[in-house]
Amino acid sequence: MSSCDGSCDEKSVGKRIEYGADAQSVFVLFCFAWFAVALIGRFAQVDLGFDLWYSLWEPVIMPAIGILMAGALVSGLSNWVGQKFLKDSP
């Protein structure tokens, strides 16, 4: 069920997608920071959650990175197509 109820326009849907992409980027950066800190802690013999991070790698973090990369590719491709084929449009 959609939360728009027929009153959403393309700009508001685009903004929601943009906010989702921003949240995805923040999540991936958070995961990288957590990995770096946990790895340093593992070398220092301090438990900072490396085993938990590693257990989340395949089911959570790897798909998040994949979605982020796919979004970047789609965005770049759509910008390229827009510049290449729609440059004469007003």
What is the C-alpha to C-alpha distance for residues 55 and 20, in angstroms, rounded to an integer?
25
Digit-coded pLDDT (tens) for 17-41 = 888 889 999 999 999 999 999 999 9
Digit-coded pLDDT (tens) for 46-76 = 999 999 999 999 999 999 999 999 988 988 8
Q: 69 is written with which tokens?
A: 């990369």
Torsion of CA 7, 9, 12, 17, to 10 degrees: 110
3-state secondary structure of 9: coil
Q: How many CB atoms lie within 10 A of CB 87?
A: 7
pTM of the model: 0.76
